[in-house]
Amino acid sequence: MKIQELIKKQEAVWEEARERQVLDRESFWYGTYDINDRYAPADLLVQGLPLYTNRESKYYKDANLLQRLGLCMEFILKFQLPDGLISLPDCNIDSPPDTGFLINDLSICYFFIEQAGMPELAPLQGQIKLFLQKTIPGMLTGGFHTANHRWVMACALGFLYRIFGDGRLKARAFAFLAEGFDVNDAGEWAERSNVIYNAVSDLYAFHIGETFGVEEAYGAVRRNLEMMRYMFHPEFYIATEYSTRQDRGTRARMDSRYTIVFLLMSVMDRNPQYAFLAEKALEYAPTFGLLLLYAGVYGSRILDTPEPKAVSDCYTVLLNGTKRTDVPKKYSENGDAVLRHRNGKLSVTVMAGQPDFLFLQYGKARAFGIKLPIGWFGMGGISFPGIERIDADTYRMYTPVRGKYWQVFDADFAKRYNGNFIGMPNQEREDINRVETEAEVKITLQKNGLDLDIRIDKLPMIFAQLVCMLDLEGTVSGDTVRLEQGVIALQSGRAVYECDGDCIEITGMGGGHRFPVLRGDTLNPCAQNLVVNAVSPSAWHIEFRCYER
């Protein structure tokens, strides 16, 4: 990592950022970004401060840059509420966790200025210290909403403790730490957010370990970073198809927090694969300000990395393979089974606990969700409780699927409600007319794709449908029939989905019904939905083969 090269790239970042700084004194957002453009109170400080102090930068000791940084800090002080906290205006009001995020960024700025030793930055450092000091009462009593917030809070309390030395801050941090780090044996944080909250939790857990000497914090970080080696699609896009947070289904790469924590841990553990992943994160990074601040604060502890060693893009890994989760449900949760398979351009994710049980990508061609809805009491797509390994290349997902009807209440009991069905304790009704079928999917991994063997055969006349959600960027050709806008059916033979010369060929037999969507299911309007229909009893074999045109 060459600081001089990053400085030059960061100059372009700053030039774009300063154009968005509000300079209208009448605006509430004077000094920062308009929230309609972006919410990031300290971003101008983070992006500009390392340029001011670096002799290689054309903005070294630039008076206009320093003035802009002061305006940003003045806004932050104005934005602070009387109790010392801030709000995330469209969501969390009077928010300790969002204050914690800001404390963590501003603390790095504070330590950076301390290291820089430039007298003209003393007023800016004083403003930062004033803000931080005013947060202490609210942070000593503040709570949280989500799992990662606990580590945001504990990290922020640790930074405040380092700056002000108030023992109450340490005690409050340890109140959060007493709950234990929510990383399971597979390396998953509770929120399964590979793009956003993994990196948040990893970086802040690192600081918790550093500040308080908590070795378990480093262990949590290591488990997650080890798991992340298996969470990359081609071109280092991150697997988001089973996230429980707002990054679900997004296309994104690693951010600055990932870059920093991989660098810090690569130096600490002398781990060459962490160094490689830090390089990859840096290769795609849009901004470099936070990294440059860390470089100024940590020096050799972040820069003295071992020689990078590439992570493999050929593997098959089953995470949480013994877990069986309760189904049906719409979203997976921490600990549900996940199978990740890579073979170069081929990337496959198999997921228990959610209807979109399969993701398939080959280069640019993406089937970003594959599900199996059935016509069964409006349930829509089937979610499977687990993933069973049959052999090195074959995995099985199975679930019984149950339905029922309700008994009427006794007449004397029902009279109390005078016909008010909504007011009746319907959850207490006796279940009668129980029905049950079974659904099984076998996934056989191939070098250039995979096979699906689907069985729904216990009861007759159950409508089923395999739905493949194909990225809008590609085109579909072959033996297909358009059922309605956005829905095409494979009747027999094959269909080919192609994007920039990368192809996914789907071969199988469909028929028995021509429903574009089954009751209780919804089709993705941001996809080309290719459906393969069937009616039970049925056992269908579908092949996915991937190749370059």
For the CA atoms of 303, 305, 309, 312, the dihedral, rounded to the nearest 10 degrees, stands at -70
- Euclidean distance between CA atoms 29 and 33, whole angstroms: 6
Domains of the chain, each with CATH number or no CATH: 183-311 (no CATH), 314-548 (2.70.98)
Judge contact between 292 and 50, C-beta under 8 A. Answer: yes
User: Which tokens is 198 given?
Assistant: 């993994």
Cα maximum dimension of the chain: 88
pLDDT score of 140: 98
Amino acid at 177: L
User: Which tokens is 478 given?
Assistant: 């072959």
pLDDT score of 39: 84
DSSP E strands: which ranges in 198-285?
none
Residues near 227 by Cβ (< 8 Å), separated by ≥ 6? 186, 187, 188, 319
Q: What's the pTM value of the predicted model, to 2 decimals?
A: 0.95
User: What is the helix (H) or strand (E) element at residue 491, kind and residue range?
Assistant: strand 487-499
pLDDT score of 405: 96
pLDDT score of 270: 98
pLDDT score of 467: 97
In 3D, which of 431, 447, 439, 530 has the Cα closest to residue 489?
530
Ordered mean pLDDT values, 10 residues apiece, the chain (549 residues): 92 97 95 88 96 97 98 97 93 94 98 97 98 98 97 98 98 98 97 97 98 98 98 98 95 97 98 98 96 97 97 98 92 94 98 98 98 95 97 97 96 96 96 96 98 95 96 95 92 93 94 92 95 93 96
pLDDT score of 329: 87
H-state helical runs in 54-196: 63-79, 96-116, 122-141, 147-164, 167-177
- Euclidean distance between CA atoms 120 and 507, whole angstroms: 69
pLDDT score of 331: 86
